[in-house]
Amino acid sequence: MTLFPDSFAPLRESIIARAVDSGKFSLNIINIRDFSADKHKKCDDTIFGGGDGLLMMPQPLFDCIESVKTENSHIIYLSPKGETFTQSKAKTLVEYEHLILICGHYEGIDQRVIDTFVDEEISIGDYVLTGGELPAMVVVDTVARLIPKVLHGENSAKDDSFENGLLEYPQYTRPADFRGLKVPEVLLSGNHQEIAKWRKAQSERITKERRPDLIDKNN
Ligand code: 4F9
């Protein structure tokens, strides 16, 4: 749910678009403005108590949410005040039958919408954006690729970074020698046991170098 449905064009590309077109999941971009009862379709107003900026009014959001929610809906508000989004959170979310993502814009939404409907607030990181649209797309993309058969064998999720608590090992494709830059010999060996050993060692090395916090978290 958004005041800016056109900003979701990126989800109409590539893997996510194909998954929607082949019915692996459905995606409805709902324009909150369509639910405004105001004759000018107004959806935002100034903030009680003072302060700069505009807040999204409760009426359009209440009507928008009530038009689609069922007892199986899990309702998320994208907000810098939320719990930080992780791969592990994505795995929890993919189990829900129906997710509703509410995108605030301007200064956000009236607290009564949150108190009445929202099951959890999610942040994608400690920074402020112009709205919840980009965070909603991040959540949709991350969760959608965990739905069975959205990814195919050639881009499977099982070796992804974070999947085993480590960053992914380096990868190479043809040619084995590009301008004198060579692919590590072991990967051409056909020895699957040695390849698995090399990949595990590389994963551990790169995680130790770049994200020692991930190692501490696993131990
Ligand atoms: C939401 C930022 C989630 C980070 C929403 C302005 C936001 C955000 N994570 N910033 N509106």
Q: Is the pLDDT of residue 219 over 80?
A: no
Residue 3's nearest CA partner among 113, 85, 109 is 109
pLDDT one-digit tens code per residue, 14-33: 999 999 999 999 999 999 99
Structure tokens at 134: 């980009």
Residues annotated as catalytic (active site), given as ranges: 80, 107, 145, 160
Percent of the chain at pLDDT exceeding 90: 92
- 142 neighbors 87 (Cβ within 8 angstroms): yes
Ligand 1 neighbours by CB, cut-off 6 Å: 78-80, 104, 123-125, 128-129, 131-132, 135
**Amino acid 155: pLDDT:** 61
How far is the centre of ligand 1, averaged over its atoms, from the C-alpha of 201 (Å)?
Answer: 37
Q: Kindly report the pTM of this predicted structure.
A: 0.96
83-131 residue pLDDT tens: 999 999 999 999 999 999 999 998 999 999 999 999 999 999 999 999 9
Distance, in Å, from the CA atom of 156 to the CA atom of 164, rounded to the nearest integer, reads: 14
For the cut 90, the answer to whether the pLDDT of residue 153 exceeds it is: no
Element (H, E) at 123: strand 120-123
Q: DSSP class of residue 202?
A: H
The predicted-structure confidence for 189-199, as pLDDT tens digits, reads as follows: 999 999 999 99
- 98-102 and 73-84 beta bridge pairing: parallel
Burial of 40 (0-12, 13-18, 19+ CB in 10 A): exposed
Question: How far is CA 123 from each of CA 37, 86, 136, 200, rounded to the nearest angstrom?
Answer: 30, 10, 10, 31
181-182 and 177-178 beta bridge pairing: antiparallel
Cβ–Cβ < 8 Å for 42, 36: yes
- What's the pLDDT band for 5 if we cut at 50, 70, 90? very high
Ligand 1 mean position, distance from CA 128 (Å): 5
Which long-range contacts link 203-212 to residues 24+ away (Cβ below 8 Å)? 203/164, 203/166, 203/167, 203/168, 203/169, 204/166, 206/167, 206/169, 206/170, 207/166, 207/167, 210/167, 211/167
Question: For the residues of 23-63, what is the DSSP string, one character each?
Answer: TSS-----BGGGG--STT---EEEPTT--SSEEE-HHHHHH
Mean pLDDT, the chain, rounded, equals: 96
pLDDT per position as a tens digit, 33-90:
999 999 999 999 999 999 999 999 999 999 999 999 999 999 999 999 999 999 999 9
CB atoms within 10 A of CB 2: 22
Ligand 1 atom closest to the CA of 128, numbered from 1: 10
Report the percentage of the chain scoring pLDDT > 70.
98
Query: What is the pLDDT confidence band of residue 176, given thresholds at 50, 70 and 90?
Result: very high
- How far is ligand 1, taken at its centre, from the CA of residue 129, in Å? 5
